[in-house]
């Protein structure tokens, strides 16, 4: 079946829900293939749902429908105020189903229920409304040369949006909403690990009455994603995921001269200066390093600690990690749920073993399954000490609850180590000295950085440099990605 399902149907121990239709070109259609995605609960290892998979022909049909809708122009010629009003209706409809979306997200990808309610689902409502606010003050047409010319920001065309499984709603909406506000047509390919929340969103989109062909939402695997990226009728690919996949997508888009925005991996540094309050540091790292069980691109997984206080920092961070509760993600008292799949858990375990082989010291955690967790893909939060920044565990994105504490000599050395990375997505500076914080923060080459906290805001650009991506989401910059500026010469300049 496709359509509304109750959260209870997706909870632990409940039956399997079957979705046999696709949201293609703004309509629900019966899937032509018998192939199905099996959605497996990371906490129970039970199949909780099956979801129809589009064929190559159906993926092509979605792009063709998007191109036809864009060329017909009904949505792109709709006044901006009306496009904004439609997205505000989406926010209202979304808000009414936040509890359901949170339960669904916890069921399919294992994030703890408090986080999915507050951030994954609840935060998505704020995201939609923030982008609407940005659209209201965005310079869609801007006078230049004293009125002799103007810059008109027009819709960028047909967009393929590919969100990941770790924060599937906000990464989807950060592409879909600004693209629709800009007047584009969009084909969304959600991750096969998290298709259920995307189908709820498809229901909400369906209720807006957008022109046929404007939006398709087709959960699928890599092959369909590759086909959509390479489709000749696609103008822009917006992707969030691994750096390796981002490089492949960039290569295709470069060959075909498609626009591309990439939000990729990270290995962010939390720089603890020698005057930092370590209680504040430990509390902050609980969120910035271990949220979603460490499965976050912005995770601050390299803690840079001054040699003068190195042992204190290690103990403060390890004490925090030891106090985290690993368990049932539906239990409000749980801090860390399972990892998303058994394959991913095993990959993270291999990095823990690698760290030991490299000579790092496990202060807490390790590769063993937590006591009593005989079902589900759980892993204990792990803190490594005696880490050299040249070790693989300090350089490669592990994407799990694994944190490295690296010593430094002085502020300049801390900046050098922070910048000695292939990535440049996020970061923090922890200190009581505002001037010192400002000096250090400005010297770190990264897309985002915070002082004594890291709280991204939907009105500010989100993204990174180096191997962390190309372009930005959120804020005015999130709209910039989906428009093409046209210089309009009304008269010869004086």
Looking at the domain assignment, is residue 493 inside a domain? Answer: no
**Which of 132, 184, 253, 297 is an active site residue?**
297
Please check whether residues 49 and 176 belong to one and the same domain: yes
Q: What is the pLDDT of residues 314-324, one digit of tens each?
A: 999 999 999 99
The dihedral through the CA atoms of 412, 417, 418, 424 has a sign that is positive
User: Are the CB atoms for 188 and 161 separated by under 8 Å?
Assistant: yes
Please check whether residues 326 and 186 belong to one and the same domain: no
User: Are the CB atoms for 191 and 109 separated by under 8 Å?
Assistant: no
Please check whether residues 273 and 288 belong to one and the same domain: yes
Q: What is the pLDDT of residues 20-59, one digit of tens each?
A: 999 999 999 999 999 999 999 999 999 999 999 999 999 9
- Asked if residue 5 has pLDDT above 80, the reply is no
Residue 491 banded pLDDT, cuts 50, 70, 90: confident
Kindly give, in sequence order, each residue whose CB lies less than 8 Å from that of residue 181, ignoring residues fewer than 6 positions away: 80, 83, 84, 87, 131, 132, 135, 479, 482
| 103 CB neighbour count, 10 Å cutoff | 23
- 103 is annotated as an active-site residue: no
Please check whether residues 287 and 426 belong to one and the same domain: yes
Q: What total of structural domains would you count in the chain?
A: 2
The reported pLDDT for the residue numbered 493 is 57
Please check whether residues 82 and 228 belong to one and the same domain: yes
Looking at the domain assignment, is residue 374 inside a domain? Answer: yes
Please check whether residues 297 and 182 belong to one and the same domain: no
Q: How many CA atoms lie within 13 A of 208 on its CB side?
A: 27
Strand partners, 97: none
Please check whether residues 200 and 53 belong to one and the same domain: yes
Strand partners, 150: 143, 488
Looking at the domain assignment, is residue 1 inside a domain? Answer: no
Looking at the domain assignment, is residue 464 inside a domain? Answer: no
Q: Give the residue-averaged pLDDT of 353-377.
A: 95
- Asked if residue 1 has pLDDT above 60, the reply is no
Looking at the domain assignment, is residue 2 inside a domain? Answer: no
Query: How far is the C-alpha of 349 from the C-alpha of 365, rounded, in Å?
Result: 11
Please check whether residues 197 and 279 belong to one and the same domain: no
Please check whether residues 169 and 283 belong to one and the same domain: no
pTM for the full predicted model:
0.94
Q: Give the residue-averaged pLDDT of 459-465.
A: 98
| 33 CB neighbour count, 10 Å cutoff | 13
Query: How far is the C-alpha of 313 from the C-alpha of 322, rounded, in Å?
Result: 14
- Asked if residue 14 has pLDDT above 60, the reply is no
User: Are the CB atoms for 470 and 261 separated by under 8 Å?
Assistant: yes
* Mean pLDDT of the chain, nearest integer: 95
Nearest to 141 by CA among 471, 483, 493: 483
User: Are the CB atoms for 470 and 262 separated by under 8 Å?
Assistant: yes
- Asked if residue 8 has pLDDT above 80, the reply is no
- 297 is annotated as an active-site residue: yes
Q: What is the domain-level CATH number for residue 110? A: 3.40.605.10
Looking at the domain assignment, is residue 492 inside a domain? Answer: no
**Which of 58, 100, 134, 263 is an active site residue?**
263
Looking at the domain assignment, is residue 94 inside a domain? Answer: yes
| 434 CB neighbour count, 10 Å cutoff | 10
Provide the residue range defining the domain that includes 359: 269-457
Please check whether residues 187 and 294 belong to one and the same domain: no
Looking at the domain assignment, is residue 463 inside a domain? Answer: no
Please check whether residues 231 and 277 belong to one and the same domain: no
Q: What is the domain-level CATH number for residue 331? A: 3.40.309.10
Please check whether residues 434 and 478 belong to one and the same domain: no
Q: Give the residue-averaged pLDDT of 373-386.
A: 96
């Amino acid at each position: 079946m496709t359509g509304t399902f109750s959260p209870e149907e997706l909870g632990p121990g409940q039956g399997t829900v079957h979705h046999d239709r696709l949201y293609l070109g703004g309509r629900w259609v019966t899937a032509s293939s018998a192939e199905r995605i099996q959605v497996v609960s990371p906490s129970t290892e039970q199949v909780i749902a099956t979801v129809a998979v589009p064929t190559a022909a159906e993926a092509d049909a979605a792009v063709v429908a998007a191109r036809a809708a864009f060329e017909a122009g009904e949505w792109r010629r709709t006044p901006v105020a009306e496009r904004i009003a439609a997205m505000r209706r989406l926010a209202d409809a979304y808000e009414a189903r936040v509890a359901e979306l949170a339960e669904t997200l916890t069921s399919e990808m294992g994030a703890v229920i408090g986080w999915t309610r507050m951030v994954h689902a609840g935060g998505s409502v704020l995201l939609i409304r923030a982008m609407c606010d940005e659209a209201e003050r965005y310079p869609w047409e801007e006078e230049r040369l004293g009125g002799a010319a103007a810059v008109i920001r027009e819709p960028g065309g047909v967009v393929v949006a590919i969100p990941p499984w770790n924060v599937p709603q906000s990464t989807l909406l950060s592409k879909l909403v600004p693209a629709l506000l800009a007047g584009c047509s969009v084909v969304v390919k959600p991750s096969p690990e998290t298709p259920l929340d995307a189908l709820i969103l498809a229901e909400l989109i369906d209720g807006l009455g957008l022109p046929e062909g404007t939006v398709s939402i087709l959960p699928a695997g890599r092959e369909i994603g590759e086909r959509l990226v390479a489709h000749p009728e696609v103008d822009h690919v917006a992707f969030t995921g691994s750096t390796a996949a981002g490089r492949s997508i960039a290569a295709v888009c470069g060959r075909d001269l498609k626009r591309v925005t990439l939000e990729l991996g990270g290995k962010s540094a939390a720089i603890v200066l020698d005057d930092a309050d370590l209680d504040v540091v430990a509390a902050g790292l609980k969120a910035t390093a271990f949220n979603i069980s460490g499965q976050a691109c912005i995770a601050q997984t390299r803690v840079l600690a001054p040699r003068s206080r190195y042992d204190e920092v290690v103990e403060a961070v390890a004490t925090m990690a030891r106090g985290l509760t690993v368990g049932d993600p539906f239990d409000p008292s749980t801090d860390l749920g399972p990892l998303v799949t058994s394959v991913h858990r095993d990959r993270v375990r291999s990095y823990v073993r690698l760290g030991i082989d490299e000579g790092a010291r496990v202060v807490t955690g390790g590769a063993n399954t937590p006591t009593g967790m005989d079902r589900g893909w759980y892993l204990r939060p792990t803190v490594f000490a005696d880490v050299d920044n040249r070790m693989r565990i300090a350089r490669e994105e592990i994407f799990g609850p694994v944190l490295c504490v690296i010593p430094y000599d002085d502020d300049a050395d801390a900046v050098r180590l922070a910048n000695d990375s292939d990535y440049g997505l996020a970061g923090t500076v922890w200190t009581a000295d505002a001037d010192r914080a400002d000096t250090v923060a400005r010297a770190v080459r990264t897309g985002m950085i915070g002082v004594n906290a890291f709280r991204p805001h939907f009105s500010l650009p989100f993204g990174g440099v180096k191997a962390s991506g190309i372009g930005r989401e959120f804020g005015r910059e999130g709209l910039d990605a989906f428009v093409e500026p046209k210089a309009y010469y009304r008269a010869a300049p004086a």
